Each structure stands twice: as C-alpha cells, then as structure tokens.
Structure 1
Amino acid sequence: MTSQQYIVKSLNRGITETFTYGKKIYQSAIKKQSVKDPLFLSKLGLVGDEQAYEHHGGENKALCLYPYDYYDHWRNMFKNMVEAALFGENLTVVGLTEDKAHIGDIFSFGEAIIQVSEPRNPCYKLAAKYEVPDLILKVRNTGYTGFLLRVLKEGMVSASDYLTLIEPHPQQVSVSLVNDLKFHDRFNPEKLNKVLQVKELSESLRNALKEQFESGKKNGWG
C-alpha cells in the first residue's frame, strides 16, 4: 500500500431519528451504523443514508469523512463511546487527516470518484450525542473536524475499498488551513486570498468566509 492509499475502517449510513437534548428536540441521522455490503454512491451520497436538514446534504456535502486516527483522543472524554461513525461520518478512514487532505484533492473509492470540498462543521448535535456541552469548542480547537466530499463519478463502494489519491490539487490548500482561517486566524487577508483561489472550495463556505472577513465579525458557524 502506498502513502497515497488509505484504509477505510468503516462505511456508515443512518436514518433520521428524533432526539432530546436538554429542552431541545431535534432530528438527526448522526447515529450511523457500519455497513459491510456494497452500496451505491450517488451525487447526493450513499443510498439509504438520510439527512435531517437540507444544509447537511447536497452535492458539495455528499460524504462526510472522519479520521480513525482521532478515536483514541476522544475515548476518555466520552462515557458512551462508539467504535463506528464516532462523529456521524459516512467514511471512517485511517491516516487521511486534515493536514494531508487538500481542498480539490480527487480520490478513487470503489467505482466512484470523490473530491474534497470543505471541512466538516461541528454542531451542537455532537455535543448532544456525547453529552459534552463544550465539545464543539474542543473540536474547533483541536482541528479534528473531519471533512466533506462531493461525488464526481457515481458507483458502487464498500468498506473493503481503499481511498486512493489519483489527482492531488496543485494549490495544496489543506483542510487544516481552511479550519484555521475559519475558526482562528479569521481576518488574515493573505490566508483568505489563498483559500478563495481554490475554485473547488464549496460555494457556501466561500461566501461565508468572505462575509466573515468583510463584516469584521466572527461567524457563529451554526
């Protein structure tokens, strides 16, 4: 196995359920289950994988990937730790961390071709799932967010398939760099310009980053 090929620890999908967190009642498909059989991956994601809200899906957010490398980091923090789809991700992958993944990188995955589009945005549902109120802040501070991908070519995929980097993006803007701009070094014009030059960055995040910079106010990021 080359350094540009990554093991899929699990392939995960879920259905929308209703949950209660404090006084909040919400719907989510965050409690995904690992699937051994091959699944069809369409432009909108894995067949049978549901999204509770429109902004959680779409062609630029067809798949969510989370590195298995971080599972041990969170293990002692969660009293109800799970070993599959820890953060509700579709793909749990070994070794493909935010510093190694770049916006626009293209991977083969089974019959499908997928492309990195933006970092995953941590939301309150993670905190609710594990009953850790400040989990969103912890995820942002570590940079252990995971990231989202679009589907360039549909096809059958399975947990036994590798993710293979077939076309690294020439501008090499890592997911880690985008996270830093998004959450920390928010008003750095050089960094913003470098990120915005990558045309493969999702349009929604592009607009949000520009709005944050131009307004001079921190974006709450949901």
Structure 2
Amino acid sequence: MKIISTNLGERKEIDWKGELITTGIFKYAVDKPIFLDTEDVKGDSICDRENHGGILQAVYGYSLKHYDYFKKLHPNVNFENGIFGENLTIDDLEETKIHSGDTFKVGETILEATVQRDPCIKLGVRFNDMKILKQFWNSTFCGVYFKVIQTGFVKSGDKFIQIKSCPENPTIADLYVAQRIAKEM
C-alpha cells in the first residue's frame, strides 16, 4: 500500500435544505507533506470533535480502489482525491484484510488501525445526495481510522509497511458490519 494523495480541508458552512451545517469533509489534495499528530492532522479542520479526531481517530485513510464502485453510482460527481473526507487516499486499502491493532510504518510516522468510519449526513452533503449514506453502509468500503503511535510527516508516495499484525482481532470490515447491524436494531 502507498499514499496516492494527502488531503486537508477547511471549516465550511453549508446551507443544506435550510439547515446550516458546519463541516470539514471538503478535503482536497495538497502538494506538500502533512503532519500527523496524536489527535488530528495539522492544518486539517475537524468540526465535530465528538465523532472525528481524537486519539483513536486521528487520521482517516480511504482506498482509491473504492472510488470506482461509487463512480458507477454517482456518474455526475467530480471524484477528486479526498471526496470521502479522508486525509490519506491510499492505493489499495482493504478493510477486509486489515485488523484492528495492525500497525504500519508510513513516512516518519507509525500508525495503528483502530476503527471503521461510519457515514453521517456530512458525506451526503459532500456528494449533494443522501443516497450515498445507504450505499456506503451497504458496502464494506468504510475506510480506516488510525491512531498515531509516532507523530511525523507523510507525503504522497510513502509506503505503508506493516510492522505488527493482529489477526486475533476483528477486521475493520467486521467492526463496520457489526456497527451497521447494531444501528438497524
């Protein structure tokens, strides 16, 4: 695995059908290394600290391969890297193969896979279509949140080198499916 793009977003206020929504989901690729800190990515806006950022969700990674699935469902959307709100667009991040606790050396950092990303209304706002929420839930293409064990800079082209494997733990996809089932009850 390797980083295809690093993405940052600014705080943005959107009028969504008469409701003012403040979000940092509008992330775009940047042509510079980004600093992964213990609770967030420096220079990236997180507007909902209750559900994003913090120790277990400091960095969000998403697979470029998953874009193809959603491009078929949303042919009129401009799929720029970062559209899913990810800090790291990664060439082939596979949630069914990454276990919670798996650890990677990436650039100057060490990252530990922690949990899945559950979709919220802001993803629908980003796509200008709330159908994306159900489509996202009905896949295992949730992306991966990472804990930053060692802070530092990462950049496009940096490889993910696995340094610890935790096959005894559930995969990120397993956690995601369990969360979806729990929300349906």
TM-score of Structure 1 vs Structure 2, range by shorter chain:
over 0.9
Q: Would you say 1:73 and 2:69 are equivalent positions?
A: yes
Q: Would you say 1:53 and 2:42 are equivalent positions?
A: no
Q: How does 1:10-29 map to 2 (within 5 A)?
A: 10-29=5-24
Partner residue, 1:191 = none
Question: Which has the greater radius of gyration?
Answer: 1
* Aligned residue identity for 2:125: A
- Contact kept, 8 Å, 2:93 with 2:143, in 1: the verdict is no
Partner residue, 2:122 = 125
Map Cα deviations across residues 131-183 of structure 1 (whole Å, 9 max, x no partner): 22222111111121112111001112111211111111141411111112111
Q: Normalising to structure 2: TM-score of the pair?
A: 0.92
Structure 1 outlier segments of 4+, above 4 Å: none
Whole-Å separation in 1 of the counterparts to 2:151 and 2:97: 24
The runs of 5 or more residues in structure 1 that have no matched partner are: 1-5, 187-211
Whole-Å separation in 1 of the counterparts to 2:173 and 2:35: 29
Q: Would you say 1:97 and 2:97 are equivalent positions?
A: no
Q: How does 1:107-126 map to 2 (within 5 A)?
A: 107-126=104-123
**SS of 2:81's equivalent?**
coil
> Alignment length, in residue pairs?
183
Whole-Å separation in 2 of the counterparts to 1:43 and 1:169: 21
Partner residue, 2:176 = 179
Partner residue, 2:144 = 147
* Aligned residue identity for 1:8: I
Map Cα deviations across residues 44-74 of structure 1 (whole Å, 9 max, x no partner): 2221011011121111110011111111111
Q: Normalising to structure 1: TM-score of the pair?
A: 0.78
**SS of 2:147's equivalent?**
strand
- Contact kept, 8 Å, 2:36 with 2:59, in 1: the verdict is no
Q: Would you say 1:83 and 2:90 are equivalent positions?
A: no
Whole-Å separation in 2 of the counterparts to 1:97 and 1:170: 14
Cα distance, 1:100 vs structure 2: 1.4
Calculate percent identity across the aligned residue pairs. Answer: 26
Whole-Å separation in 2 of the counterparts to 1:170 and 1:49: 32
**SS of 1:65's equivalent?**
strand
Question: Larger % of helix: which?
Answer: 1
Considering Cα pairs closer than 8 Å and 6+ residues apart, tell me whether 1 or 2 has the greater RCO.
Answer: 2
Cα distance, 1:76 vs structure 2: 3.1
Question: Larger % of strand: which?
Answer: 2
